[in-house]
A = this chain, B = another copy of it.
Amino acid sequence: MLPSNSFDSEFSVSWTHRLRFTDSSFNDGTLDTLISTLSPLKILPVIDCGVTTNTAFMDDVTNWLANSVFETSKPRIVEGGEVSKNSMRVVDQVLEDINTNNLCRKSCVLVIGGGAVLDAVGYAASIAHRGIPIIRMPSTTLAQCDSGLGVKNAVNYFGKKNFVGVFDPPFGVVNDIRLLSSLDNRHWCSGLSEAVKVALIKDETFFEEIEQQSAQLLNRDLTAMGNAIQKSAILHLEHITNGGDPFERLNARPLDFGHWSAHKLEQITNNSLTHGEAVSIGLVIDIKCSVALGLLDNAIADRIVNVLQSLNLPTSHPALSDPALLQGIEEFRQHLGGELTLLMLKGIADPVDVHALDFKLVKQVFNELL
């Protein structure tokens, strides 16, 4: 019992996370219907400069803005890629636009871009007036499969990844497959490692589909890609909204499977690897660790490696010889803020948590892969 001068009061706050799939967001009513649900007073469009090279898509944006029944501001074009969240530049640009255009909490930011731009713009929208609703249109395979669904909004600070940020779910996410058409082959495919990841921890049938469809996926078949993205995005969404820990208060982070080494590999290679590529290598490392720990059959590990290779994803890297890579384990433990919790596999869609990983075993896995 609490003493008489103590008062504990519980309360909760609810959100709806809205996910849409389309190949024609501006013309088939997908976006208009979603925006009408929100009924914003004003809309500020923010567009990743990488998207502006997709002329067919940009024509749609321009037409939509010219004819929209909603009150829209002049679109802000921002720099793309990790650089957009390495400083406060993009955040400040969006805050300036929110201020200049008098957006309020009943307004809306509509952001079209890759994961880093979604992060930086989402952060700006989350802190302006304690949260302006945002609709995200992820423009990369990676962001449509995974990061665009997240409830995190963050930028890098003190040279540290996502040091400054908030949890704030988007009002909605529109995955328009046509945004991917302007991606080069490398970025078209590399985000699929996150689809493989979520299939490996949650859905064996989905893993088999990726395995069977790998040639079509590699050959830019829109139907195959649309299916893979839809399944990956929904599995990520379900984990966030039904997994019991949307704001990451617990120690386990199943969606970070393969990520302790992936984050470190990106850093060691000065981001010459895409996040998707680093995750592919990271998955192989943790799968091989699962084998070395006696948890997983080696034949299954080889099957997974084959699927990643069939998607043109890297499964090894010279940086595996860098002693700094092992520090990724300790940094991941620090990131969790307590006990180390790493997900390993006993089989496909059969994960298990481990709380220690012997350095000698990991080094052996690195040597095997080099």
Contact = CB atoms under 8 A, between A and B. Distances in A.
Contacts of A41: 337-338
B14 A9 contact: no
Interface string A125-164: 0111111000000000000000000001010011010111
A367 interface: no
Contact of A130 (B8, B20, B130, B167): B167
Interface string A1-45: 000011111111111111111100000001000000000010000
A246 interface: yes
B16 A128 contact: no
B128 A242 contact: no
Contact of A237 (B9, B126, B241, B334): B9
A95 B234 CA distance: 35
Given A106-B338, A130-B154, 8 more contacts: A8-B19, A11-B15, A12-B14, A99-B157, A105-B248, A128-B163, A128-B164, A130-B248
Contacts of A10: 14-17, 241
Given A166-B126, A337-B106, A5 B21 contact: yes
Given A7-B19, A10-B15, A130 B152 contact: yes
Most chain B beta carbons < 10 A, residue from A7, A20, A128, A166: A7
Interface of A: 5-22, 30, 41, 95, 99, 102, 104-107, 126-131, 152, 154, 157-158, 160, 162-168, 230, 234, 237-238, 240-242, 246-248, 334-335, 337-338
B20 A99 contact: no
Contact of A104 (B128, B240, B242, B337): B337
A14 to B, nearest CB: 4
Contacts of A248: 105, 130
A85 to B, nearest CB: 14
Contacts of A160: 99
A127 B130 contact: no
Among A5, A168, A334, find the residue whose CB has the most chain B CB atoms closer than 10 A: A5
Contact of A9 (B11, B17, B154): B17
Contacts of A242: 9, 11
Nearest to A132: B337
Contacts of A21: 5-6
A338 B238 CA distance: 33
Contacts of A337: 41, 104-107
Nearest to A6: B20
A242 B7 CA distance: 13
Nearest to A34: B6
